[in-house]
Amino acid sequence: MVNHKLPWSYPGEMKHRWFYVTAWWLRLLPLVPVAWVVIAIVISIVNYHPPTPEMRRAYKCSPKGAGSAGIEAKYAVRARLKAPATADFPEFSYGVTWAKGCMFDVHSYVDAQNGFGAQIRSWYHASVEYRPEKDDWIVWSLKIEP
């Protein structure tokens, strides 16, 4: 008979180690939280419903659409600059006012280089409208003042 040296101090200690449990399904218990996370991800993917045109209109034609209006005004300002690559817009300090319906007034500034290469701050005012029938934005007026 071969006497194998055991990694524990006495043979009775083996019963208390979880990985020596004889029931195979008990070894899978640490995977239960992982399974719950996977199930939650699958359920959220299956239950995702893209926004309908009515939902987009209700969102963008309300004060909640101010962020999108500010971004569209930035695109219009950047298109009119001499050096658009140097444009530096404030992150969240622009003023957007919901005028009526789907119209917004945007007031903010941009730091950009002029034609001579000097960095200057220019203030701008834009009137922006969301058109739900085409699902796009249009800039009705844009004034940039150095």
DSSP-assigned letter for residue 117? S
Of 139, 118, 142, 117, nearest in space to 128 by CA: 139
- Contacts of residue 56, defined as CB under 8 A and 6 or more positions apart, other chains included, come to 132, 135
Structure tokens at 66: 């101010």
| Domain range 53-145, CATH class | alpha beta
Residues 59-107 pLDDT 10s? 899 999 999 999 999 999 999 999 999 999 988 767 899 988 899 999 9
pTM over 0.85, yes/no? no
CA pair distance 28, 52, nearest whole angstrom? 43
Per-residue confidence (pLDDT) for residue 88, from 0 to 100:
92
Residues 7-38 pLDDT 10s? 555 555 555 555 555 666 677 788 899 999 99
